[in-house]
A and B are shown apart, each in its own frame.
Chain A
Amino acid sequence: EVQLVQSGAEVKKPGESLKISCKASGYRFTSFWIGWVRQMPGKGLEWMGIIYPGDSNTRYSPSFQGQVTISADKSISTAYLQWSSLKASDTAMYYCARGMTTLDYWGQGTLVTVSS
């Protein structure tokens, strides 16, 4: 059974760094792209970027390029989304999901709250 299990909710202050994770199981991690999707409070879904764990090839939406970093660790079948300096506007639910032309399996979401 394919599963994507994300790390728990985070509360951070503006300017702090953060790395959230998405652990995959039930399939060959290196053979499928994994993407990240943002959902701000009460808003719609926004596609952020995607990584192919097999070779770490990464594509970003221009809206998120330079604002976040997507990475993956093949040895533990885990993808990551990280920020070097959080802003209040980064407060949102973040989902990981599998796929390049589609998103067939989704994680449960990680709520990130940034507040002073």
Chain B
Amino acid sequence: DVEMTQSPLSLPVTLGQPASISCRSSQSLVYSDGNTYLNWFQQRPGQSPRRLIYKVSNRDSGVPDRFSGSGSGTDFTLKISRVEAEDVGVYYCMQGTHWPRTFGQGTKVEIK
């Protein structure tokens, strides 16, 4: 299985400050069709996960533009430009290139 390693696992952030989460894969996530199937999800407390980003950097409809995704190959980043209270939760990366699909361990974002 492709291992997805997130860091940090816990991220205390001051409101209005930026936050950054890293996700590294044990193999390249570039698929034979040229696409890189790296996704980011947000899970707020008590809620189902919600997709934020797909194919590395494509933001879902309704996702605030303070969220951005970047990276290539095996190294990816989710950035929040200015953290708001509603951003508290756990963030997961997931690769959709290799079978089986795999998630990172999750990064818990909390307000300092």
The answer to whether A and B belong to the same complex is: yes
Partner-B contacts on A (CB < 8 A): 35, 37, 44-47, 49-50, 59-63, 95, 97, 99-104, 106-109
Query: Chain B binding site: helix, strand, loop or mixed by DSSP?
Result: loop
Does B66 make an interface contact (CB < 8 A)? Answer: no
When the two chains form their complex, are residues A45 and B100 in contact, meaning their CB atoms are under 8 A apart?
Answer: no
- Given A45-B43, A47-B94, A61-B1, output 9 extra A-B contacts at Cβ < 8 Å: A44-B90, A45-B92, A45-B103, A47-B103, A95-B49, A102-B96, A103-B49, A103-B51, A106-B49
| Given A59-B99, A62-B100, also A102-B1 (CB < 8 A) | no
Are A109 and B37 neighbours in the complex by a CB distance under 8 Å? no
Let me know if B101 is at the binding interface, CB within 8 A.
Answer: yes
Find out whether the CB atom of B102 lies under 8 angstroms from the CB atom of A47: yes
B7 to chain A, nearest CB (A): 14
| Chain B nearest CB, measured from A62 CB (Å) | 7
Q: Which residues of chain A have C-beta atoms less than 8 A from B35's C-beta?
A: 101
Which residue of chain B has the shortest Cβ distance to A103 in the bound complex? Answer: B51
Q: Are A103 and B39 in contact (CB under 8 A)?
A: yes
Enumerate chain B residues within 8 angstroms of A49, measured Cβ to Cβ: 100
Q: Which residues on the B side are within 8 Å of A100 (C-beta)?
A: 96
Instruction: Give bound CA distance, A79 to B65, whole Å.
Output: 34
Q: Which 6 pairs show the lowest CB-CB distances between chains A and B?
A: A101-B96, A61-B100, A101-B37, A47-B101, A44-B106, A106-B48
CB-defined contacts of B39 to chain A, threshold 8 Å: 102-103
Instruction: Give Cα distance in the complex from A44 to B31, angstroms.
Output: 25
Within the assembled complex, what's the spacing in Å between the Cα atoms of A99 and B100? 13
Q: Which of B53-81 contact A (CB under 8 A)?
A: 54-55, 60
Q: Shortest beta-carbon distance, A31 to chain B, in Å?
A: 17
Nearest chain A CB to B35's CB is how many angstroms away? 8
Q: Digitize B86-101: 1 where CB-to-A-CB distance is under 8 Å, 0 elsewhere.
A: 0000101010110111
What residues of chain A lie closer than 8 Å to B50, measured between beta carbons?
106
**Listed residue (B35, B37, B101, B104) with the most chain A CB atoms within 10 angstroms of its CB:** B101
Interface pairs (23), CB distance under 8 Å = A45-B49, A45-B94, A45-B103, A47-B100, A47-B102, A49-B100, A50-B101, A59-B99, A62-B1, A63-B100, A95-B48, A95-B49, A97-B49, A101-B35, A101-B37, A102-B37, A102-B39, A102-B54, A103-B94, A104-B54, A104-B60, A106-B49, A109-B48
